[in-house]
Chains A and B, each alone.
Chain A
């Protein structure tokens, strides 16, 4: 018969780790999306030449492995700047920028997918740039960008496992702690994977639901 030393308290410990993963992801995706929309609109609006410095910075965030970004950012703010901020704050800050770098591209692609003739029609009705953006571009670009954005959100959730490097105990780190103590790696990793699935599944389904609803137009 299957035998394990895992106790209810250990499961609660894992659930707390899952909670931390969820919180870090939610904060990062929230701020990353807001920043991504701002950066994406700027990149689209000012053209490739003027956006070059911004594009370069975003490329840096997209190209350097997250683990390295976390270590360097943590060292920079705590040692160089001497700020007394928690690993949790550093983790959320870095992950937000990382999310924003990807999100900016998704947003730009979404805006570009809205036909120029449609926007000209909106302007010809007397709508301002802001009104055109809000009532025509935003809803249409959102439909185009949603699948990529859902993919980004799920990716960020799994990448958030790397924040253990700045002493944030999230789901994977909690699992590792238990593995060290209980020496049941496969069983614990299965439970850990189940937790990840339970968090991801609703997000993926929400995306599918919205896509289906919007395709009726």
Chain B
């Protein structure tokens, strides 16, 4: 379970998170929508401790992320995150990309790591591409590789930060299909996205962020069907 309690965060004078309260249960798929600068991506990077917070606290399975005593490297093993930029390690083959952290962080043997990497790469449909370098892959394939790389760490939670935003339109589908597959397998996921159709289909709940505030959170049929917040109504009108 991820518990976010009254989290505030500023970049200089700009307050990007103004007291967020949110709980994500095991197995839940939460999507977060909202305009740029609404703080939704910042929240994800705070959840796995890549960004410090100013006040409040975030608990992952009862462990406080920003407590001094918390071993962040250990905590991050159970929270996979995939970013907008796909961030393949260019000097390693696709297979080695997915093996590296398994071997160095989880201390798996080469054979174990390779088996797990092959399994995850097959899972995201990259079984044929294991021995090539990332520069030979399309954006969509690189992004699926990044997902496989995160999944190979056997995380309990997956965070997706606008993973389709940097892709050519015709490549968005294959990545969303991968996310749909994960959702259907019961992975606990928080997806920050601009893909409304996707949010409507896969989410258990959808949260709308506006200027650092979580303005509304509801199941998708309710949030999209009968939005209450006036900013959300405007946002939905603009994106349709």
Q: How far is the CB of B26 from chain A (nearest CB, A)?
A: 20
Q: Which of B69-77, B121-129, B192-200 lies at the interface with chain A?
A: B69-77
Is A6's beta carbon under 8 Å from chain B? no
B window 147-185: CB within 8 A of A: 149-150, 153
Is A143's beta carbon under 8 Å from chain B? yes
Which residues of the other chain, B, contact A115 by a CB distance below 8 angstroms?
Answer: 85, 87
- Cα of A122 to Cα of B81 in the assembled complex, Å: 10
Are B81 and A217 in touch, CB under 8 angstroms? no
Are B105 and A127 in touch, CB under 8 angstroms? yes
Are A124 and B73 in touch, CB under 8 angstroms? no
User: Which of B81, B87, B135 interacts with A118 by CB under 8 Å?
Assistant: B87
Contact string against A for B residues 80-94, beta-carbon threshold 8 Å, 1 for contact and 0 otherwise: 110101010111000
Is A180's beta carbon under 8 Å from chain B? no
Which residues of the other chain, B, contact A136 by a CB distance below 8 angstroms?
Answer: 89
- Cα of A56 to Cα of B5 in the assembled complex, Å: 47
B window 112-158: CB within 8 A of A: 133, 135, 146, 149-150, 153
- Cα of A125 to Cα of B88 in the assembled complex, Å: 12
Residue of A with least CB distance to B81: A124
Are A127 and B101 in touch, CB under 8 angstroms? yes
Contact string against B for A residues 117-158, beta-carbon threshold 8 Å, 1 for contact and 0 otherwise: 110111111111001000110011001000000000000000
What number of residue pairs across chains A and B have CB atoms under 8 A from each other? 60
Q: How far is the CB of A82 from chain B (nearest CB, A)?
A: 50
Residue of B with least CB distance to A139: B91
Are B133 and A126 in touch, CB under 8 angstroms? no
Are A143 and B149 in touch, CB under 8 angstroms? no
B interface, size bucket? 20 to 34
Contact string against B for A residues 96-129, beta-carbon threshold 8 Å, 1 for contact and 0 otherwise: 0000000000000000000101101111111110
Q: How far is the CB of A203 from chain B (nearest CB, A)?
A: 23
Which residues of the other chain, B, contact A217 by a CB distance below 8 angstroms?
Answer: 90-91, 133, 135
- Cα of A140 to Cα of B100 in the assembled complex, Å: 15
Which residues of the other chain, A, contact B203 by a CB distance below 8 angstroms?
Answer: none
- Cα of A53 to Cα of B39 in the assembled complex, Å: 39
Residue of A with least CB distance to B159: A124
Are B50 and A125 in touch, CB under 8 angstroms? no
Q: How far is the CB of B10 from chain A (nearest CB, A)?
A: 20
Which residues of the other chain, B, contact A121 by a CB distance below 8 angstroms?
Answer: 83, 87, 146
Which residues of the other chain, B, contact A131 by a CB distance below 8 angstroms?
Answer: 104-105
- Given A131-B104, A217-B135, are A126 and B73 also a contact pair (CB < 8 Å)? yes
Q: How far is the CB of B90 from chain A (nearest CB, A)?
A: 6
- Cα of A126 to Cα of B146 in the assembled complex, Å: 14
Is B48's beta carbon under 8 Å from chain A? yes
Are A120 and B83 in touch, CB under 8 angstroms? yes
A window 203-217: CB within 8 A of B: 214, 216-217
Are A140 and B146 in touch, CB under 8 angstroms? no
Q: How far is the CB of A140 from chain B (nearest CB, A)?
A: 6
Q: How far is the CB of A166 from chain B (nearest CB, A)?
A: 42
Q: How far is the CB of B152 from chain A (nearest CB, A)?
A: 9
- Cα of A133 to Cα of B90 in the assembled complex, Å: 15
Q: How far is the CB of A37 from chain B (nearest CB, A)?
A: 18
- Cα of A123 to Cα of B100 in the assembled complex, Å: 12
Ordered by A's residue number, 26 sampled pairs between the chains whose C-beta atoms are within 8 Å are A117-B87, A118-B87, A118-B89, A121-B87, A121-B146, A122-B101, A123-B50, A123-B76, A124-B83, A125-B100, A125-B101, A125-B150, A126-B73, A126-B77, A126-B101, A126-B105, A127-B73, A127-B104, A128-B73, A131-B104, A140-B89, A140-B91, A214-B91, A216-B133, A217-B90, A217-B91
- 10 closest Cβ contacts across the A-B interface? A121-B87, A125-B101, A126-B105, A126-B76, A126-B77, A124-B81, A217-B133, A139-B91, A117-B85, A126-B73
Seed contacts A121-B83, A121-B87, A127-B73; 8 additional CB < 8 Å A-B pairs: A120-B87, A124-B83, A126-B74, A127-B105, A135-B104, A140-B91, A214-B91, A216-B133
